[in-house]
Chains A and B, each alone.
Chain A
Amino acid sequence: MGDFFSLFFDNLPQVGSGLWVTVQATLLGSLVALALSFVFGLMANTRPVLVRGVSRVIVEFFRGTSLYVQLFWLYYALPLLTGYQLSPVFCGVVAFGLNYGAYGSEVVRGALNAVPRAQYEAAVALNMTPFQRMRRVILPQAWVQMIPPFTNLLIQLLKATPLLWLISATDLTTVIQQMRDRTGASVAAYLTLLVLYFVLAYALTLCMNALERAAKTRIGQRESAKGLFRTRSSAERLPGGVR
């Protein structure tokens, strides 16, 4: 066990670069997912049947086919069909973005529907354009509701990044597993790895809590600073369909 920790501390730069790959994949993947959530979520709330239908089909497809199959398809099957081999991290970002974007679009759709009807009506009565209505009235309120489920999804996405190990990216999991293979100290290696992921997850949760507080302040709902440190699970509701 001592062997593992001496190897770990002797090779900190290597651990750091693995950590960086993991963080990069998480953040880029969640940015893609966020953008897609809004695209598909807004599409799902428009009137034309065709637009709604397209959004539904895409969302159900990516929610239904399992992230692991999607990632492997991108990494193994796509090069055969097109001749282009994507880099593992890029594959990861695309697959995470599409999969969690599909889950996120349900969050956006639900939050938009949860804004009281009267708010829409008031904005119409004030003669706001649809764009103004969205930007100044609806989104600021819906955004507050979206943050807790988005936090859940973000942690889910972080927890999916070890998949990069399976498609040979040198992420955190890969680096620590290499150290385990050299020392044979399984317990120490995997516990270290789990603790590192836990710390990452908690750090992301703290950032999201701060974001939620800022969003609430913006629409006049102050909350105490104590709420900043709560964990993800004590967020009021776990969205059933989203895990």
Chain B
Amino acid sequence: MNYEWDWGAVQDSLPLLLDGFRTTLLATVLGILVAAVLGLIAAMAGRAPTRWVSVPVRALMEFIRSTPLLVQLAGAYAVFNTVDPLTIGITVLGIHYASYLSEVYRAGIDGVPKGQWEACRALSLSPRRTWQAVILPQAVRNVLPALGNYAIAMFKETPFLAVITVMEMVAEARQFGAEHFAYAETFTLAGLIFLVASYPTSLLMRKLEKRLGH
């Protein structure tokens, strides 16, 4: 079978793909913000002094981390069928990645020397002040490079959102490909756009990691 590579299809689909790419970027940026906040809350709750809080939180995070994002998305979409798909997508992406980030934060918090906690107690700082003024500023610096890496990972997982009818880039590629019988062109193009966007970012993250001494 001879297949003619159709440059016209490449040209025609590019604006659509870039349009979808905006949705992809929006989902990534908002998703990682949700994940960063929820992850921090989960990490702090996972260290709560009462086991009634810490154990369920850790178990929930473990469960979310070990189950497929695709199923979580499809499930949330089926259950909350009145909510806007993009909102569901960003929330589920955020919660899923929060389960990874809670581990990263945990490691970051554990990396703060024990003496710092003891000093806070000696100064009888309130728990709120201890976290706010002493622990978090040190922990968050440890966590930044990992946050960037997870953002890149999330970016590459946004095509999942197509399952819940969000028209991100791969969904656009699929639709255009089906209409014009041009899957080869559109999927190749979509892959290249991912490569062009994610590779420089990951190089940048690696540099940042080296500079922060990891």
Residues in chain A within 8 A of chain B (CB atoms): 60-61, 63-70, 72-73, 76-78, 80-83, 155, 158-163, 165-166, 173, 177, 180, 186-187, 190-191, 193-194, 197-198, 201-202, 231-233, 237-238, 240-241, 243
| Cβ B69 vs Cβ A159 within 8 A | yes
B26 interface residue per 8 A CB criterion = no
Q: Mark B68-99, 1 if CB is under 8 A from A, else 0.
A: 11111011001100000000000000000000
Chain B residues lying within 8 Å of A72, measured Cβ to Cβ, are 170, 173-174, 183, 187
A sample of 15 inter-chain contacts (CB < 8 A) reads A64-B202, A69-B159, A73-B184, A73-B187, A77-B184, A77-B187, A162-B71, A173-B70, A173-B74, A180-B78, A186-B78, A190-B71, A190-B79, A233-B61, A241-B149
| Cβ A233 vs Cβ B62 within 8 A | yes
B25 interface residue per 8 A CB criterion = no
CB distance from B90 to the nearest CB of A (A): 18
B21 interface residue per 8 A CB criterion = no
Chain B residues lying within 8 Å of A67, measured Cβ to Cβ, are 156
Q: A190-B71, A190-B74 are in contact. Are A69 and B190 (CB under 8 A)?
A: yes
- Bound complex: CA A165 to CA B75 (Å): 14
| Cβ A197 vs Cβ B159 within 8 A | no
> Is the interface on chain B under 10, 10 to 19, 20 to 34, or 35 or more residues?
35 or more
Residues in chain B within 8 A of chain A (CB atoms): 1, 3, 61-63, 65-72, 74-75, 78-79, 100, 103-104, 107, 145-146, 149-150, 153, 156-157, 159-160, 163, 170, 173-174, 177, 181, 183-184, 187-188, 190-192, 194-195, 198-199, 202, 206, 209, 214
| Cβ A238 vs Cβ B70 within 8 A | no
Chain B interface secondary structure, helix, strand, loop or mixed? helix
Known pairs A66-B170, A173-B70. 17 more at Cβ < 8 A?
A66-B194, A68-B157, A69-B159, A73-B184, A78-B184, A83-B1, A159-B66, A162-B71, A173-B68, A180-B78, A197-B71, A232-B66, A233-B65, A237-B107, A238-B104, A240-B146, A243-B100
- Bound complex: CA A165 to CA B63 (Å): 22
- Bound complex: CA A26 to CA B163 (Å): 21
